[in-house]
Amino acid sequence: MKRELVILLLSIFMFTFVYAASSLDVVVGIAGCTFIDGPDSIYLPHSFCSDTTSYEERHRGLFYCGASGTNDAWVTTEDNIGCTLGTGVLLSPITPSNTCCPAGYICTDVSSGDFQCQLAGVCNSSMTKGQCEDIGEYYYYTGDITTSYCVCDAFECSDYLNDANCTNDEFSAAGVSYSTLNEFVCAGDYYAQSNATCVWNVSETRCMEETFNTLQNAGSPENWSCSSGFDAGECIDGLQPVNWVITEDLTNAPSAASWTAAEKIECFKGAGCLAGSSTRGCGEALVKLPGFSLISLILSSIIICLYYFGTERFKYKRVIS
């Protein structure tokens, strides 16, 4: 009976240290951590990275076990501090000895307090200036390191964060959103677009892309301008809402006063000057490991314990009989 009680207590003790570490389950004990990756169990001592040749290639650099006396254990390709060896500080220069990542990956600052192993050479806006320039991308320094970032996608006027950067347009952002500057019909007249420029809108407190639309018919010259910018929402599950903001200046276009509502829409559409919203992809794809759930692990452990419990009881009965 004492033996059976010990087995039951051990089972309860084991469950106390079992928890789900994001995409897979982990058992943290006094000696170290065991990561459950499907049918595989990967054991690491405390303060240890799975980057040695004693681990299978697909597991190398993928796990980090926290310091002794803690229940910390991380998958380094997910948002946490595992790839910084549990310190939450990314040392410079970044080397395999002060980080924990799979081969071909680099520990990257992805948000305030979180890090992630990402493919080396793949642009990420949170890269340092050195990392960004090493892969041939531009680093946008705003004058404040907390708002500066690596330019990974096509840079547009709306991405500039202050008047000086907007006016100078150091990344030649003006015209990026236009495949061609075209001619179009507007209220029966022909207009042609001139080159786009980045302009700081004081009232909107934002940088906007401005194009001038000049009347091509004979008579008094007139033109009107359209400025566009966007507001990007939060990146959630790889998707980000974007709202386009439009302002127009018809001061130098007297004929605009006689436009009907339909003609105004026609003119703005021809100039690409329409507000709207859309959804775009964002963020970096996380590398997730397959693995059964915490519930499956607990149920499997209970079945094993019950089987062992039943076997020991059967042996006990046979002995006394």
Distance CA 304, CA 280 (A): 48
Distance between CA atoms of residues 179 and 44, nearest Å: 54
| pLDDT of amino acid 74 | 93
* Lowest-pLDDT choice from 110-114, 207-211, 258-262: 110-114
Residues 66/88, Cβ–Cβ less than 8 Å: no
Under a CB-based contact definition with an 8 Å cutoff, are residues 211 and 270 in contact?
Answer: no
pLDDT in tens, 135-185: 788 888 888 877 788 877 777 888 888 898 898 988 888 866 554 556 788
Q: pLDDT tens, 93-102?
A: 788 889 999 9
Residue 114: pLDDT above 80?
A: yes
User: What gap in Å lies between CA 128 and CA 12, rounded to an integer?
Assistant: 46
Helices (H), the chain: 2-16, 129-134, 163-168, 261-270, 294-320
CA–CA gap between residue 307 and residue 128 (Å, rounded)? 55
**What is the Cα–Cα distance from 255 to 213, expressed in whole angstroms?**
13
Evaluate the omega torsion of the peptide bond into residue 93 and state whether it is cis, within 30 degrees of 0: yes
* Residue ranges per structural domain of the chain: 2-120+296-320, 127-152, 154-274
Lowest model confidence (mean pLDDT) among 25-29, 89-93, 261-265, 313-317: 313-317
Coil, helix or strand for 25?
A: strand
Residues 38 and 25: beta-carbon distance below 8 Å:
no
Residue 49: pLDDT band (50, 70, 90) is: very high
Inter-helix orientation angle 294-320/2-16, to 10°: 170
**pTM tops 0.85:** no
DSSP string of 113-177, one letter each residue: TEEEEEETTS--TT--HHHHHHTT-EEE--SSTTT-EEE-S---GGG--SHHHHHHTTT--TTTT
More confident residue, 299 or 94: 94
Over range 77-101, report the average pLDDT.
Answer: 89
Per-residue pLDDT band for 280 (boundaries 50, 70, 90) equals low
pLDDT in tens, 217-256: 656 677 788 887 767 666 676 676 777 777 888 888 888 8
Strands 223-232 and 239-249: antiparallel
Strands 239-249 and 40-45: unpaired
